């Protein structure tokens, strides 16, 4: 039995874990008190991680699809040689636009992303699709306009705010804030602090709140604009902050003053007096912040909602201060900046062939992908790599994905498990699990203190599975994009494996990449093959963290030193790198002063550009808008977070202690009209599809809405789908016009009773 440190990989908090392992299994999992941010906190989901590490869908060997649809085991060399040749043929014949990369990342495996995205460069393609493109890109787009770059991402200091507004988020179940349940409890027990929840469901968080505005689904933009209007009408906005930091407030103010507050509040169907109270108290609070999530990012007016929630903290001056919302630094650059108004070196952004969609933060929205594969044009997508993602279950419109993926000339899936998407692949390449390789998350999204946790491998890789850095580097070598060896760099790396500065190696790397500029895009694999070989404990995958740590220390020199790292401007980055490599419980990267937040702004004048013309147009258009789905009796909120659902990496259904069917929650009055009781079977029909569900009566749900959880529908060990396949109901075209984010939280449906019942829903 050994004791180790690692992190949970189930949500973006990535809580530090102290684990015991024996005979290749987790025997004990608890929160790690040494983790610099989570300090021992975990929720109930982490304790079940053995169900991720060891289960019967794990992949052990490369597999190739045969003509009869079955898979046969092949060697790595055979698989990668054939894949590389087929990629080169497709690139030669159809150009790079025929290739797309899908996924790459998840909640805890971002280190591999530095390697996997290189295949886009090798294919001369820019088409990267991932789940952020169906969740967060509206938010990133607004950040780009307000703060000057889509890489300017904001965080919220919920732990120190006097007044916290949760909109479309349920941190009690979904987390997303530091040590969520403890933090909620702290707010609740302090009489000087207030918590308000805006959510159509009386969520577990709403049950802790001082005020719950249980609005009608899809009316968030009406409610938020009404709150903003009350603030400016009553002159509660922070004029001094606005004068000092913002442009174009007059344009915004004019629009907000024209909001018909009473009409909008009526549309949202919440008490006007509560809305007025929230507007006044939020604006008057000493410190206030806003925390949002998919509840407003996957419903009507996605991008506008993101704009309005940011205006709440901006016009009240709750930005760049303790207890407010703040920008933060990144060590791993998980976002890009792709502003569709600007061209890069004279080149416009790459638009997709069919939908003419541009990327946001470098990401294309998955729900347009089936059309980009299926259209008749020569420039359709013909080859796809899917990495650490399961589009067949997690992207809108499962039927469209199945149809489209079957038309691909080449589908390669890099995965830990036999997923529903892997079953459609031409090749399945087995990846080592997240506890069998060096890994890390790029979700270090905190301010003023930010931390990073490099996880060490705990188990040997299962069977022939390989870590992603090795898989993608071998493909680049097979495609002859990079040579197999770099003798000079390897020699220098060996000479100074524990160097305090790695100066010789870094200098030689810069010279090599300058001489061979076409290798620059493969820097991760080159560093992996050279510096990586000199690192202890087979830590090659972590080698690209050296240049990132050097860059981070140069950019945030004072903040890195405040976090306790020693060194001068030449050596501080290396010291940070060594700390990341050595500290198994995670490392505090930086400790900022609040005034330093303004250095993270990317507008040229370092001011916030409040008036975004597209958003003001959309705000005006609300007045005449008719809510969609009037001919359907229910609005389904698809993808609810519950006690025992998680991302798709838990495949073995025995990990759940409750809710084996992923029941549909429905208000008792609605259930009684349909003659449904707890455990009844029902059929749920949307415009796109139909699934059978099990009913759970729940008076926390608003009348006229129903909910289903995400994280179900797997065919574990080839079984029938377990629980609801919610994306048989969702649509790729029912989406936000600007970001194309699908409206998973607003799916109009009919519910029909089926005349049989199950014995239990728990």
DSSP 545-594: HHHHHHHHHHHTHHHHHHTT----TTTHHHHHHHHHHH-TT-EEEEE--G
CB 106 within 8 A of CB 9: yes
CB of 171 to ligand SF4, least distance (A): 9
The answer to whether the beta carbons of residues 484 and 526 sit under 8 Å apart is: no
The residues near 716 (Cβ < 8 Å, ≥ 6 apart) are 55, 56, 57, 651, 652, 653, 722
Structure tokens that stand for 552 in this block: 């981070």
Q: How far apart are CA 523 and CA 486, in angstroms?
A: 12
Closer of 42 and 428 to ligand SF4 (Cβ): 42
Of 19, 29, 43, 550, the one binding ligand SF4 (CB under 6 A) is 43
Question: Whole-number minimum distance, CB 15 to ligand SF4, in Å?
Answer: 3
Tokens of 44: 């109930």
Query: Which residue is listed with tokens 């190696």?
Result: 505
Q: How far is the CB of 14 from ligand SF4 (least distance, A)?
A: 5
| Nearer Cβ to ligand SF4 (386/416) | 416
**In contact, 305 and 299? CB cutoff 8 Å:** yes
Chain residues 89-118 in contact with ligand SF4, contact rule CB under 6 A:
none
User: Per-residue string for binding with ligand SF4, 142-181, x by CB under 6 A?
Assistant: ---------------------------------x------
3-state secondary structure 342-410: CCECCECCCCCCCCCCCCECCEECHHHHHHHHHCCCCCCCCEEEEECCCHHHHCCCHHHHHHHHCCCCE
| Calpha distance 709→646 (Å, rounded) | 9
Find the shortest distance in angstroms from Cβ 662 to ligand SF4: 18
Look at residue 413 and give its three-state secondary structure. Answer: strand
Burial class (CB in 10 A: 0-12, 13-18, 19+), 86: middle
Q: Which is nearer to ligand SF4, 247 or 643 (CB)?
A: 643
2 to 21: interface string for ligand SF4, x by CB under 6 A: ------x-xx-xxx------
Least distance in angstroms from the C-beta of 175 to ligand SF4: 4
CA geometry: angle at 108 spanning 105 and 113, to 5°?
30
Q: Which residues contact 559 (CB under 8 A, 6 or more apart)?
A: 329, 448, 590, 591, 592, 593, 596
Contacting ligand SF4 (CB under 6 A), which of 42, 311, 386, 622?
42
Q: Is 649 in the site for ligand SF4 (CB under 6 A)?
A: no
Nearer to ligand SF4 (CB atom), residue 18 or residue 43: 43
Which of 35, 45, 61, 681 is the binder for ligand SF4 (CB under 6 A)? 45
Q: Candidates 41-49, 211-219, 329-337, 624-632 — which segment interacts with ligand SF4 by CB under 6 A? A: 41-49
What is the distance between the alpha carbons of residues 336 and 358, in angstroms, rounded to a whole number? Answer: 13
**Nearest-approach distance from CB 9 to ligand SF4, in angstroms:** 7
Please, which residue, 45 or 642, has the CB nearer to ligand SF4? 45
Closest CB to ligand SF4 among 8 and 261? 8
- Least gap, CB of 23 to ligand SF4 (angstroms): 24
ω into 448 cis (within 30 of 0): yes
Q: Which is nearer to ligand SF4, 11 or 466 (CB)?
A: 11
**How many angstroms separate the CA atoms of 101 and 128, rounded?**
5
Minimum distance from CB of 44 to ligand SF4 (Å)? 7
Closest distance to ligand SF4 from the beta carbon of 626 (Å): 39
From the list 38-46, 390-398, 468-476, 689-697, the region that binds ligand SF4 by CB under 6 A is: 38-46
CB of 45 to ligand SF4, least distance (A): 4
Q: Which is nearer to ligand SF4, 40 or 333 (CB)?
A: 40
Cβ-based nearer residue to ligand SF4, 46 or 428: 46
Cα separations (Å) of 511 from 118, 489, 508, 670?
20, 10, 5, 69
Q: In angstroms, how far is the first alpha carbon of the chain from the final one? A: 34
Beta carbon nearer to ligand SF4, 399 or 654: 654
Q: How far is the CB of 313 from ligand SF4 (least distance, A)?
A: 24
Residue 712 C-beta: closest distance to ligand SF4, Å: 17
Q: Which is nearer to ligand SF4, 634 or 650 (CB)?
A: 650
How far out from the chain centre does Cα 432 lie?
A: 21
Which residue, 91 or 651, has its beta carbon nearer to ligand SF4? 651
Assess contact for 378 and 141: CB atoms under 8 A: no
By CB under 6 A, residue 51 contacts ligand SF4:
no
By CB atoms closer than 10 A (0-12, 13-18, 19+), residue 621 is: exposed
Is residue 726 near ligand SF4 by the rule CB under 6 A? Answer: no
CA separation for the pair 606, 147 (Å, rounded): 8
| 688, 725 contact by CB (below 8 A) | no
H-helix segments, 587-630:
613-621
CB of 645 to ligand SF4, least distance (A): 11
For the segment 497-526, give every residue that binds ligand SF4 (CB under 6 A).
Answer: none
Minimum CB distance to ligand SF4 smaller for 245 or for 453 = 453
Size of the site for ligand SF4 (CB under 6 A): 11
In the complex, least distance from residue 105 CB atom to ligand SF4, rounded to whole angstroms: 15
- Chosen residue from 21, 37, 46, 749 binding ligand SF4 by CB under 6 A: 46
Query: For ligand SF4, which is the closer residue by CB, 38 or 680?
Result: 38
Task: By CB under 6 A, name the binding residues for ligand SF4.
Answer: 8, 10-11, 13-15, 42-43, 45-46, 175
């Amino acid at each position: 039995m050994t004791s180790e440190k690692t992190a949970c990989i189930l949500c973006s908090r990535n809580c530090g874990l102290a684990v015991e392992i024996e005979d290749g299994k987790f025997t004990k999992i608890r929160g790690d008190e040494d983790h610099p941010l989570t300090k021992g906190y975990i929720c109930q989901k982490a304790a079940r991680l053995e169900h991720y590490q060891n289960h019967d869908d794990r992949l052990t060997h490369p597999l190739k699809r045969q003509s009869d649809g079955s898979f046969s085991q092949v060697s790595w060399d055979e698989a990668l040689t054939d894949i590389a040749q087929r990629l080169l043929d497709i690139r030669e014949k159809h150009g790079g636009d025929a290739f797309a990369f899908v996924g790459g990342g998840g909640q805890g495996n971002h280190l591999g992303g530095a390697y996997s995205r290189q295949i886009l460069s090798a294919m001369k393609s820019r088409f990267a699709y991932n789940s952020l493109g169906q969740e967060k890109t509206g938010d990133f787009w607004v950040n780009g306009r307000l703060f000057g770059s889509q890489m300017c991402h904001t965080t919220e200091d919920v732990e120190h705010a006097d007044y916290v507004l949760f909109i479309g988020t349920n941190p009690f179940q979904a987390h997303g804030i530091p040590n969520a349940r403890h933090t909620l409890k702290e707010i609740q027990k302090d009489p000087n602090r207030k918590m308000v929840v805006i959510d159509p469901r009386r969520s577990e968080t709403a049950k802790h709140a001082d005020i719950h505005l249980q609005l009608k689904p899809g009316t968030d933009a009406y409610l938020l604009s009404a709150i903003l209007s009350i603030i400016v009408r009553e002159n509660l906005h922070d004029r001094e902050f606005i004068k000092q930091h913002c442009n174009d407030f007059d344009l915004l103010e004019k629009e907000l003053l024209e909001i018909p507050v009473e009409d909008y509040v009526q549309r949202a169907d919440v008490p006007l007096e509560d809305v007025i109270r929230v507007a006044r108290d939020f604006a008057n609070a000493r410190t206030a912040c806003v925390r949002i999530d998919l509840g407003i990012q996957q419903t009507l007016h996605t991008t506008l909602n993101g704009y309005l929630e940011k205006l709440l903290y901006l016009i009240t001056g709750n930005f760049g201060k303790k207890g407010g919302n703040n920008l933060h630094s990144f060590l791993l650059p998980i976002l890009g900046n792709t502003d569709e108004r600007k061209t890069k070196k004279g080149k416009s952004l790459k638009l997709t062939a069919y939908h003419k969609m541009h990327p946001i933060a470098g990401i294309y929205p998955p729900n347009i992908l089936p059309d980009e594969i299926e259209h008749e044009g020569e420039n359709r997508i013909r080859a796809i790599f899917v990495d650490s993602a399961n589009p067949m279950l997690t992207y809108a419109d499962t039927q469209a994905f199945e149809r489209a993926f079957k038309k691909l000339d080449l589908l390669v899936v890099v995965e830990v498990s036999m997923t529903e998407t892997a079953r459609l692949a031409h090749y399945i390449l087995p990846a080592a699990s997240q506890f069998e390789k060096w890994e890390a998350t790029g979700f270090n999204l905190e301010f003023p203190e930010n931390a990073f946790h490099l996880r060490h491998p705990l188990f040997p890789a299962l069977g022939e599975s390989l870590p992603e850095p090795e898989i993608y580097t071998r493909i680049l070598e097979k495609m002859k994009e990079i040579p197999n060896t770099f003798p000079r760099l390897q020699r220098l790396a060996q000479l100074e494996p524990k160097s305090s500065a790695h100066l010789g190696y870094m200098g030689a790397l810069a010279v090599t990449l300058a001489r061979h500029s076409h290798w620059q895009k493969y820097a991760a694999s080159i560093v992996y093959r050279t510096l990586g070989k000199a690192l202890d404990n087979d830590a090659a995958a972590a080698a690209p963290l050296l240049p990132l740590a050097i860059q981070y220390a140069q950019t945030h020199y004072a903040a890195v030193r405040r976090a306790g790292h020693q060194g001068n401007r030449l050596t501080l980055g290396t010291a940070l790198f060594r700390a990341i490599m050595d500290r198994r419980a995670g490392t505090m990267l930086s400790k900022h002063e609040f005034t330093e937040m303004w250095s993270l702004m990317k507008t040229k004048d370092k001011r916030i550009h409040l008036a975004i013309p597209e958003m003001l147009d959309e705000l005006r258009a609300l007045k005449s808008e008719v809510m969609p789905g009037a001919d359907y009796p229910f609005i389904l909120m698809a993808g609810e977070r519950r006690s025992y659902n998680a991302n798709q990496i838990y495949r073995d259904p025995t990990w759940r202690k409750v809710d084996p069917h992923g029941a549909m929650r429905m208000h008792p009055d609605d259930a009684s009209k349909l003659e449904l009781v707890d455990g009844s079977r029902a059929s749920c029909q949307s415009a796109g599809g139909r699934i059978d569900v099990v009913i759970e009566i729940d008076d926390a749900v608003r009348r006229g809405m129903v909910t289903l959880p995400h994280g179900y529908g797997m065919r574990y060990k080839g079984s029938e789908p377990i629980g609801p396949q919610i994306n048989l109901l969702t649509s790729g075209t029912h989406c936000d016009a600007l970001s194309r984010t699908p409206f998973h939280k607003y799916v109009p449906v009919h519910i029909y009773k089926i005349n049989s019942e199950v014995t239990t829903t728990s």
